[in-house]
Structure 1
Amino acid sequence: MNESELAAKIDHTVLGPETTVTDVERVLDEAAEYGMNACIPPCYVAEADEYAPSVTLATVVGFPHGQHATGAKRDEAVLAWEDGADELDMVLNIGRLKAGETEAVREDIEEVVAAVPIPVKVIIETALLTDDEKHAACEAVAEADAAFVKTSTGFADGGAKVADVELMSEYLPVKASGGIGDYEKAKAMLDAGAERIGASSGVEIVADFRDADN
């Protein structure tokens, strides 16, 4: 894997509650410079699409807890797509999953997937789930015809773990996110089967790769 191939696997991310449009423009500039994608809050998607139309742009739906009503998630997804999002990262309804309501979880995801013609990645928040619940979540995501299953929002304790990526990759392509701050951690996730990395440290990951490669 060369540098450009690595960069294309990184969703360079800024999603904190204090994120400003200046923060978003910085992330977009860095994504454009290094060849990464960007993942930003939905309120900035239209501005971001105009500011950096060449950057693959992801945003979030039902973030960060997944407890929005299904209709709200669907409408949020459609608006994001209309504003220029290329991909969506939606949060699965974790409470319903933990209650064993897997059909409701699947239907929630299906509504969003069916509403937009762009890839939907589904965040299952692995740090909050047992292994049995992780399997149930991945099954629901796959049955709902989503494009990816994703480890974490970054807002729960704990982030991406190799064992979780290995489990999840049995079902769908995996986006590993949460606590990935350098190339060593990113490489471990990619080696475990991840096809995408979500990180606020995209620049550092690519820089670490350059140092390791030299």
Structure 2
Amino acid sequence: MDRAEFAARIDHTVLGPETTWRDVAAVLEAADAHGMNACIPPCYVAEAADHAPDVTLVTVCGFPHGQESPATKESEAENAWMDDADEIDVVLNVGRLRSGDHHAVREELERVVAAVPVPVKLIVEAPLLSGTELRTACELAAEADAEFVKTATGFSEGGATVEDVEVMSEYLPVKASGGIGSFAESVEMLEAGAERIGASSGVDIVEGYEAGRL
């Protein structure tokens, strides 16, 4: 994997509750300079598309707890796409999954997937799930035609682990996200089966490529 291919697997991320347009612009400019994607709050997507037209824009839906109504998530996804988002990361309703309401989880995700002609990733919040729940979430994502499963929001307990990525990659391509701050950690996730890395330390990760080439 050359440097450009590696950088294209990084979603350089800024999603905190105090995120300003200035923060987003800095992420976009870094992503553009280093060949990364950018994962940003939905309220800034339209501006971001104008500011950095060559950057792949990822945004979130039902973030960070996943407890919005299905109609709200569907509308969020559609609005983000209309603002020129290239990919949508939607948060699983963990409570629904844990209560065994698998039909509701699958139907909600199907609505989001059907609402937009762009890839949808299901953020499963793996740190909150048992092994069985994690596998069920991934099965439901595959049944609903999600493009990816993503480990975590980074705003709950824990983040990406090699073990979770290995399990998740049995079902769909994986975006490893949550607590990944270095090139070495990114390589561990890729070697475990991840196809994408979500991290606020995207620049450090890509710049680490030359020192520790894949």
Task: List per-residue Cα deviations over 1:53-87 (Å, max 9, x = no partner).
Answer: 10000000000000000000000000000001000
1:71 pairs with 2:71: yes
TM-score w.r.t. the length of structure 2 is 0.99
Q: Which runs of structure 2 are paired with 1:149-188 in the superposition (5 Å)?
A: 149-188=149-188
TM-superposed CA distance for 1:157, in Å, is 1.7
- Further displaced range: 146-155 or 202-211: 202-211
In 2, the alpha carbon distance for the partners of 1:70 and 1:63 equals: 13
Cα contact 2:184–2:212 (8 A) shared by 1: no
TM-superposed CA distance for 1:211, in Å, is 1.9
Task: List per-residue Cα deviations over 1:154-181 (Å, max 9, x = no partner).
Answer: 0012100001000000000000000000
In 2, the alpha carbon distance for the partners of 1:34 and 1:93 equals: 34
TM-superposed CA distance for 1:210, in Å, is 1.7
> 2:136 corresponds to which residue?
136
1:148 pairs with 2:148: yes
3-state secondary structure, aligned to 1:106? helix
> 1:114 corresponds to which residue?
114
1:212 pairs with 2:212: yes
In 2, the alpha carbon distance for the partners of 1:186 and 1:100 equals: 33
Alpha-carbon RMSD: 0.6
TM-superposed CA distance for 1:204, in Å, is 0.4
In 2, the alpha carbon distance for the partners of 1:202 and 1:4 equals: 13
Question: Percent sequence identity over matched residues?
Answer: 63
TM-score w.r.t. the length of structure 1 is 0.99
**Residue-pair matches, total:** 213
Structure 1 segments, 4+ long, off by >3 Å, are none
Consecutive unaligned residues of structure 1, counting only runs of 5 or more, are none
TM-superposed CA distance for 1:212, in Å, is 2.1
In 2, the alpha carbon distance for the partners of 1:36 and 1:58 equals: 11
